[in-house]
Amino acid sequence: MILTATHITKTFTSPQKIKLLSDISLSLPAGASLAITGKSGEGKTTLLQILGTLEKADSGTLTIAGQTVTPSLAPTLRNQHIGFIFQSFNLLEDFTALENILMPLRIARKPASPAHALALLDAVGLTSRAHFPAKLLSGGEKQRIAIARALVTSPDLILADEPSGNLDHENAAAIHDLLFSLVRERKKTLVLATHDLDLAARCDQRMILCQGNLRNW
Amino acid sequence: MFEINIALKYLVPRKKSWSTALISGLSVLVISLVVWLVLVFLSVTSGIERNWLHRLTSLHAPIRLSPTETYYHSYFYQIDTLAAASRYTYKTIGEKRESPLSDPYRPDSDPELPTLFPPNYHNDPVKELFAALTELKQEIPDLTFQDYEMGGALFRLTLKTSASLSQMTYLLSIPDQNPSLPTLLETPLSDSSLPGLPIYLPKNYRDNGAQIGDRGTLQFTAATGASSQEQKIDVRVAGFYDPGVMAMGSKCLLVPKEVTRAIHAVTQTFSPDGTPTNGIFVWLSDIAQTEQTSAKLSQLLEKKGLAPYWKLTTYKEFEFAKDLLQQFQSDKTLLLLVASIILIVACSNIISLLVLLVSDKKKEIAILQSMGARPKSIATIFGLCGTLIGLLSCLLGTSLALLTLRHLDTLVSLLSKLQGRSAFNPAFFGKSLPNQLSWEALLFVLLTAPLLSLAAGLIPALKASRIQPATVLRNE
């Protein structure tokens, strides 16, 4: 299994006590794709952040690529086994597209070969934008760069939080196609949080998060 | 290292974050100005100290060997008063050195030794000392040494205007082996074919009308068993010299050894500044080597059993220089303390700058964390920002200081013009202020400014490393 979450719970205490996730368990094999849907505020993003080790669960265990997540191991797991795609792209605005893609490799202190990054840029169709600062790119272009960045370390798990939430319909469709083609081509495990039922339908599994519980639909 | 890459990116001023750029620019400016000020001030004061040190030690040597009480009570010193070959008078170190006899006493013809007369159980401490110095010279070729004698006499000088000068003076045997002597003498050493012994006067005598060729006398009292007798030596002004900044310099005449020996033979002289009236000067080409050479010489004296006879003193312990040098040291320590405080205040600006930068870059920090950057790396980025600001300021400040030092004379003359009088008295500071960059000062700012900047960056760095990525990204 690439991802195993067991009995995950999360409660926020400020400004008021809300139990967002209660006893969530799931497991995903390599190459699987899972769509998590649910109403706004149900905790989709929080769940994704817990699965991505950005947020600590109150209880429960999380195993990624066979390794149990601990606070000291979390940054390494994020760098080597997880790729994030955010709704608001989250690129480093002052860096070029190429630099953004290479950043996870630089953080890992691995040889950051521009050829590898350029191949990914080619795969997302943005070779011509390699040296453009991220702040000058359009929303669709930014998300393509974010997808390339998520794949640059060849992670086992891709976590996408509303990947097309900030894009128009046309761009959103293009991003969906690109995401699924790249993930499937590279046999990555994908977990995405979305309101878009059409997008969710393209995943192998679909689950809904409602009142802190995750169930199939 | 991606941390450097990011830190450099953060330090480049951007239109969007003009407030950060403004504070950043101000921080760099303030630290640069402090670095500039510290470098210029410390360089000039170090130069002044060096000049004063040179002037203090130009007539005296940086190392002095003087006879101890053990020497004066030894058989070798005392025996001359009982030996006909020594004309029953004490000898100076120079005379002892030149004497072919280490032991002039002849038991068959000289008076019997008193019962408590010191025993003769050591070789000649004077000749052995010079042998030791010659041995050391083989190891340190630029070392020179010479015995000196000091005396006191009433100097009467008849000027060409028929007026006369009369003053109690100190006499120092001409240190012709002193490597600095040619620069001190305003006229070269003259031959002695002219009548009267050639003497060299401090240059202040020239200001009072003395000229080369003026004739005069040195008068001193020779005490005999029953009375005292006044003696005179005819002298001729052969030139003038720069006495440096010694307190007694303006009253110290350079005279041939015959004069000081004649005085030593009949009377005892005490120097007002504590300088022993007979000893050996040891000169070095580089005064910075004084301590090292002194240590070697001390070891050699111990090894040869000469240590009890000779007191080794360096310029730092000379009576006439000690207070001044200690004052210089205290001033320097105080200045470094003040400079450190100003640098701390200047570098503390970096804290506010980096706190602002951390707030500004919160989202980017969270993004980097989502890509796997560790808290340590995040802290390093902001620590580097502080250090880079410190280094950049050092570079700017040093460049400014070099520029200022290069054009120091122009600046001083401009300052003098504005004041309407000389900004720095040439009598104390020389014709121009020293303008060599002090390596000591440079090392001080190069170490303290980046270190303080790094320290200033620690709090913001810690703050940055504690950012919770999930919270920041959720709120975006």
Q: Are residues B219 and B205 in the same domain?
A: yes
Suggest the residue from A21, A49, A50, A87 to mutate for an interface test with chain B (most B CBs closer than 10 A): A49
Give tens-digit pLDDT for A121-158: 988 888 999 999 999 999 989 999 999 999 999 899 99
Q: Does B466 touch chain A (CB under 8 A)?
A: no
Query: How close does chain A come to B21, measured CA to CA in Å?
Result: 15
Are residues A45 and B474, on separate chains, in Cβ contact within 8 Å? yes
Same domain? B114 vs B208: no
Which residue in B6, B370, B381, B472 has the most chain A C-beta atoms within 10 A of its own C-beta, making it the best mutation to test that interface? B370
Provide the shortest C-alpha distance from residue B374 to chain A (in Å): 6
Strand, coil or helix: B197: strand
Specify the residue for token string 């005396």: B151
Cis before A15? omega within 30: yes
- What pLDDT was estimated at residue B272? 61
Question: pLDDT by residue (tens digit) across B401-450?
Answer: 999 999 988 888 888 888 887 777 776 676 778 888 888 889 988 888 88
**pLDDT of res. B419:** 83
Q: Are A36 and A207 in contact (CB under 8 A)?
A: yes
Percent of chain B's residues with pLDDT above 70: 94
**CB–CB contact A75 B2 (8 Å):** no
- The residue among B267, B295, B317 that closes a domain is B317
Confidence of residue B193 (pLDDT cuts 50, 70, 90): low
- Model confidence over B265-295: pLDDT tens digits? 777 666 666 678 889 999 998 888 899 999 9
Residue A27 pLDDT greater than 90, yes or no: yes
Complex ipTM value: 0.94
Residue B270: the pLDDT is 66
Instruction: For residue B356, give the 3-state DSSP assignment.
Output: helix
Instruction: Say if residue B122 is in the same domain as residue B98.
Output: yes
B475 and A CB contact within 8 Å: no
B367 closest CB neighbour out of A79, A80, A92:
A92
Q: Is the pLDDT of residue B297 over 70?
A: yes
Contact B476 A104 (CB under 8 A): no
Answer yes or no: are the C-beta atoms of B214 and B160 closer than 8 Å: yes
Length of chain B measured in residues: 476
Confidence (pTM): 0.69
C-alpha to C-alpha distance for A70 and A63, rounded to whole angstroms: 9
User: Secondary structure of chain A in the HEC alphabet?
Assistant: CCEEEEEEEEEECCCCCEEEEEEEEEEECCCCEEEEECCCCCCHHHHHHHHCCCCCCCEEEEEECCEECCCCCHHHHHHHHEEEECCCCCCCCCCEHHHHHHHHHHHCCCCCCHHHHHHHHHHCCCHHHCCCEHHHCCHHHHHHHHHHHHHCCCCCEEEEECCCCCCCHHHHHHHHHHHHHHHHHCCCEEEEECCCHHHHHCCCEEEEEECCEEEEC
Q: For the segment B238-272, what is each residue's pLDDT rounded down to a tens digit?
A: 999 888 766 667 788 999 998 998 888 777 666 66
- Asked whether the beta carbons of residue A76 and residue B372 sit closer than 8 angstroms, the reply is yes
Tell me what pLDDT residue B303 has.
93
Q: How many helices (H) and strands (E) does chain B have?
A: 17, 9
Task: Pick the last residue of a domain from B275, B304, B335.
Answer: B275
Instruction: Tell me phi and psi for residue A36, to 5 degrees.
Output: -110, 120
- Which residues on B lie below 8 Å from A149 (Cβ)? 371
- Within 8 A of A51 by CB-CB distance, chain B residues are none
Q: The dihedral of CA B357, B363, B365, B368: what is its sign?
A: negative
B324 pLDDT more than 80: no
Task: Report the residue from A55, A75, A94 with minimal CB separation from B372.
Answer: A75
- Give B192's pLDDT tier (boundaries 50, 70, 90): low
Average pLDDT over residues B203-213: 88
β-pair type (A205-210, B63-67): unpaired
Cβ proximity of B321 and B245 under 8 Å: no
Same domain, B433 and B306: no
Q: Are residues B269 and B292 in the same domain?
A: no
User: Residue B269: what pLDDT?
Assistant: 65
Domain range holding B237?
148-275
Per-residue pLDDT at A4: 95
Task: State which amino acid sits at residue B435.
Answer: N
Q: Is B14 on the interface with A (CB under 8 A)?
A: yes
The reply to whether B332 and B458 lie within a common domain is yes
Question: Which of A14, A92, A101, A152 has the highest number of chain B CBs within 10 A, making it the mutation to test binding with B?
Answer: A92
pLDDT bin (cut points 50, 70, 90) of residue B108 is: very high
- Taking residues B51-74, report their average pLDDT: 85
DSSP string, B98-136: H-S-S----TTTSPPPPTTPPP--S--HHHHHHHHHHHH
Residue B224 has pLDDT above 80, yes or no: no
For residues B214 and B353, state if they share a domain: no
Interface test with chain A among B12, B361, B371, B475, by most A beta carbons within 10 Å: B371
**Contact of A137 with A146, CB cutoff 8 Å:** no
What whole-number distance in Å separates Cα of residue B365 and Cα of residue B371? 10
A103 and B476: CB-CB below 8 Å? no
Nearest CA to CA, how far is A40 from chain B (Å)?
13
Among residues B229, B306, B309, the alpha carbon closest in space to that of B265 is found at B229
pLDDT for A116 equals: 86
Distance between CA atoms of B61 and B49, rounded to whole angstroms?
A: 17
pLDDT band at B367 (very low <50, low <70, confident <90, very high): very high
Please state, rounded to an integer, the average pLDDT across all residues of chain B: 86
Residues of B in contact with A107 (CB under 8 A): 2, 368, 371-373, 377
What pLDDT score does A28 carry?
A: 94
B455 and B357, same structural domain? Answer: yes
Within this chain, do residues B48 and B73 fall inside the same structural domain, yes or no? Answer: no
- Relative to beta strand B144-158, strand B164-173 is antiparallel
Of A94, A95, A104, the CB nearest to B372: A104
Amino acid B22: pLDDT:
82
Q: Is the pLDDT of residue B347 over 70?
A: yes
Output the pLDDT for position B191.
Answer: 60
My answer on whether B331 and B384 are in the same domain is yes
Q: How many degrees, rounded to 5, is the angle at CA A55 between CA A52 and CA A56?
A: 110
Structure tokens at B236: 């001729």
On whether both B253 and B361 belong to a single domain, the answer is no
Contacts of A49 in chain B (CB under 8 A): 470, 473-474
Does position B14 have pLDDT exceeding 80, yes or no?
A: no
Does residue A44 have a pLDDT over 90? yes
Q: What is the pLDDT of residues A162-208, one digit of tens each?
A: 988 887 888 888 888 888 988 888 889 999 999 989 899 999 999 99
Q: Identify the pLDDT of residue B32.
A: 93
Angstrom distance (rounded) from CA B168 to CA A210 = 111
Overall residue count recorded for chain A in this entry: 217
Supply the pLDDT for residue B209: 87
Q: Are B117 and B27 found together in one domain?
A: no
- What mean pLDDT comes out for the span A45-49? 94
Query: What is the Cα A140 distance to its own chain's centre?
Result: 16
CA B343 → CA A167, B146, B394, B458, distances in Å? Answer: 51, 48, 11, 16
Q: Report the number of distinct structural domains present in chain B.
A: 3
The tens digit of pLDDT for each residue in A66-93 reads 999 999 999 999 999 999 999 899 999 9
Return all residues near B29 (Cβ < 8 A) that are at least 6 apart.
none
